[in-house]
Structure 1
């Protein structure tokens, strides 16, 4: 076989059944091999769409997502998606074409320095210059992408390597194993837990990546310790747990933020003390001792030095920590205090003032959608106000059911990620919640939905503004609304119809129920276009460089 055929053969060995990509000159031999391959290729309408579809596939399943592009602009269009995957620790392998090795370094047509471009935003990058190294390199790419802290890996394959003959070898790679925390560290952590009177579980996205959702919930229920979640951790803790306080941070719930600020022990599990979570770092959980569980040693002590660190596989470290612990009566008063905060500061889904009587409250809309959508629905978002409303007002039964761009905050993520999730989970309902600004960034992927007849639902929340930027301009830039007006948006229903996607527009509160039901009951793709008031903002909000208890509430 040649290098292109070998590439697809290795992908099959790793259980790859689908690829998201876009062809071009330097990757053409692989696409020629695809013509007779059992692997299904999903033609996206731009390479960034392919990368985000691979992310959606990976995040909704826990498997490695695969995307593919040609050299030059094909690779540069992938870069944002690869950066997003690495920032959010999502396992993705990108296969990229490159000009023939004899032309490399000559500024040949569509040549770019793939290694130079990608090394800064990937977990690792390879460039294959010997066809006999191709097999081992591809195996390494999958191992690196999925092991430890996952991320994106690029394999750049020059065109002459793709067409060169090669004899496949049986390549055996040693699987990397995660360390296990020492018994002394476990004992020290347990001592802190048994001494604490106001403990909090601070749950991040790493728990789901470590396939330890059940273990985390066992720890929470065994100890009765109140818990909070990061944006990427949503869905990890059982949302019906009476001790779960919701998301913390810049747009976190008041109960979560106040409780964390008052706690005397913080158990950070798969979380990294991100600035959007901590607010002013020096004043974050100021009275708390810290136990930090993680798989990545680079995260421990990076921003907050823990009193005890447990480095290793959550499948082992969390049960080891939970073993022998129980609900302590000494924490009863704290539990009751947290529950009272949760009840006292719960969101209310009404809008005050006669001017809003007939208008749609985005928060109430999403809260209602959460209540009536199928239990295993996958919800993707873009980035902005709608993203924070989803995080605040919807509940998820598993972290693989909520897909969003966390660390990089990439607009244009939601629609292609929903495509990847729908392909990965064809029996489940998939809803892309987007804003009118974000939706236009990868709107071309409606063509992918049409071609493959994917039943993706799009809930488009439209305030004719770049809402989050405008909210900050209102609060911190003296209402100088610079370049946030989108009042010349297209007719979104007509746009969807041009891709044979039905839909409707609603702008009155009384039409919300009917609109949501029609969207959910549609057997194919559907666009529900929801017009809201441009002045509806996200609350609470912790201003930058401010402690989390100093929330603005509108």
Structure 2
């Protein structure tokens, strides 16, 4: 008979996740051993937050829930930010926390935290593992974490349970449900078709739900049928190839996109999740039709008609049955792209962040997977980097956490071992995850990290300047990037010109070693860029 940890390891591997990641505790060793004998990797992270972010990003890319673990007490508490990322960025994730056995847990004080209570606001479901019902617990966890909207679940693992014999089920359920989505009847979409056909200038605002249903191709087909421009959230970059003539750009909640949207006479929201939008009232009085795979409960997007179903099926059916549009989208999208580019092209002394992004995109191969950290540079990365396929651009948007780019890049390298992976981060975000350079080297997961070195927490400096407050408390600086990288066994180089950056990126690509490229940039244009594109 299988033990509790053997049931868990078998389930993780069957679901498509061949590794566990995290920083273990004493109660984790049996699970680590069960994984080892099944040829599953254990990836030792230096910070529990980074482990959860890596595992969550694996879930984003593959659809198979990532698995992370921590020790009890301090480890579980430290992992909270990574779980919050999975919650607000809608990532399938199973988080396992060690726990004392029940008698000790009930009377002990040292390192005792109520993990279930601590994680309850962040997870879709949390439970304490019990060997007698672990098979049902893991099946429920797999279904819960992957069902729209995806998100984290938590297992609390008491010290008494790992080696116990797992209970059997008389009729064990399939680990993952086999879901069928029948083609809709045309009559069932009659109202949506009528509204779309009546519009002369429809626009599509697309969000993360498209990826949950693997509906990127159908999204593009609908846009092409209607001739509609497409704005995506930053997490959905690449769902429509960003050199497509109907791709306008990214929704950032700024004034600049309102000009484009306000020209439309119908908004078609496809998979738009309010967690991806700025927390402000909906700015448009244009009619909205929403296509969604889960009901909207927040009422942020005022849809007059909400059509529920699998988004690949719905958008494909509408592409088949709607009439062709007026074709206004191509010119409108091109104008918007030019407006954004012009707004970002502020003058600079030396290497500007916008030119650094343009050089990076021109130098790196088309199939490069990019990750992006939070911070002032994120605005430039989102707008200037182009992605050409689903899940080729990875970022923390719902939570907007710093320290994401490096663990996200490690997950991308695990999922795409033969593709180049680049992480774009500010110097502040880099320092939050610097220890995972050692993980990259030790685990032979080579990535290229481009650090925008402006010697400050630039986003806070921008807000200080906009509010008329003196710069204070945001300086970093003084980092010897080359020695720092070499200390972890990586390559390091500092550049301050476009040619230098181009050469460093090309060299990193050919060496296939973890490389830190510190790009010393002039961020003096950030305020003008933020004022032009986004309300603060």
TM-score, length-normalised on structure 2? 0.93
- Aligned residue pairs total 532
How far 1:273 sits from its partner (Å)? 4.2
Aligned pairs for 1:122-141 within 5 A: 122-128=123-129, 130-141=130-141
Aligned-pair CA distance for 1:2 = 2.6
236-245 or 505-514: bigger deviation: 505-514
Residue 289 (structure 1) aligned with residue 287 (structure 2): yes
Is the contact made by 1:2 and 1:164 (CA closer than 8 Å) also made in structure 2? yes
Quick check: 2:253–2:535 contact (8 Å CA) kept in 1?
Answer: no
User: SS where residue 432 of structure 2 aligns?
Assistant: coil
CA distance in 2, matches of 1:540, 1:292: 31
Matched, 1:82 2:83: yes
User: Is 1:324 paired with 2:315?
Assistant: no
CA drift of 1:337 comes to: 4.5
Give me the whole-angstrom Cα distance separating, in 2, the residues matched to 1:344 and 1:160.
62
- 1:540 & 1:352 partners in 2: Cα distance? 11
Q: Confirm whether residue 421 of structure 1 aligns to residue 421 of structure 2.
A: no
Separation in 1, partners of 2:403, 2:492: 20
Q: Secondary structure at the match of 1:48?
A: helix
Q: Which residue of 2 aligns with 1:468?
A: 459
Q: Secondary structure at the match of 1:541?
A: helix
Would the alpha carbon gap of residues 98 and 232 (structure 1) be closer, same or farther in structure 2, given more than 3 Å must change? same
Q: Contact conserved, 1:179 with 1:311, CA < 8 A, in 2?
A: no
Residue of structure 2 in register with 1:528 after alignment: 517
Q: What's 1:162 paired with?
A: 162
Q: Give the drift of 1:303.
A: 1.1
TM-aligned CA distance change 1:264 to 1:349, over 3 Å: closer
* 1:106-505 equivalence runs, <5 A: 106-128=107-129, 130-169=130-169, 171-173=172-174, 175=177, 186-250=189-253, 254=256, 256-273=257-274, 276-277=277-278, 280-282=280-282, 284-286=283-285, 288-297=286-295, 299=296, 302-328=299-325, 331-332=326-327, 336-343=331-338, 346-347=341-342, 352=347, 356=349, 359-476=350-467, 478-488=468-478, 490-505=479-494
CA distance in 2, matches of 1:341, 1:10: 47
RMSD over equivalenced CA pairs, Å: 2.5
Give per-residue Cα distances to partners, 1:378-410, cap 9 Å, x unaligned.
111110122221101010012311110001011
CA deviation map 1:286-331 (0-9, x unaligned)? 2x1001111221x256213211111121121111222222433xx3
Contact 2:20 2:69 in 1 (8 A): yes
Asked if structure 2 preserves the Cα contact closer than 8 Å seen for 1:457 and 1:525, the reply is yes
Measured after TM superposition, the shift of residue 275 of structure 1 is 7.7
1:96 shift after superposition: 2.0
Deviation at 1:268, TM superposition (A): 0.6
Residues in 2 aligned to 1:521 and 1:135: alpha-carbon distance in whole angstroms: 46
Q: Which whole-Å CA distance do the structure 2 matches of 1:158 and 1:77 have between them?
A: 19
Alignment gaps of 5+ in structure 2: none
Residues 402-448 of structure 1: CA deviation (Å, up to 9, x unaligned):
11000101111111111111112111111111110001111111111
Taking a change above 3 Å as real, the CA distance of residues 176 and 123 of structure 1, as seen in their structure-2 partners, is: farther
Could you say what secondary structure the match of 1:45 adopts? coil
- Maintained 8 Å contact 2:276/2:397: no
Question: Once structures 1 and 2 are overlaid, which stretch shifts more, 387-396 or 447-456?
Answer: 447-456
Q: Is the 8 A contact 1:227 1:243 kept in 2?
A: yes
Aligned residues of 1:227 and 1:244 also touching (Cα < 8 A)? yes
SS in 2 for 1:310: strand
Secondary structure of the 1:81 match is helix
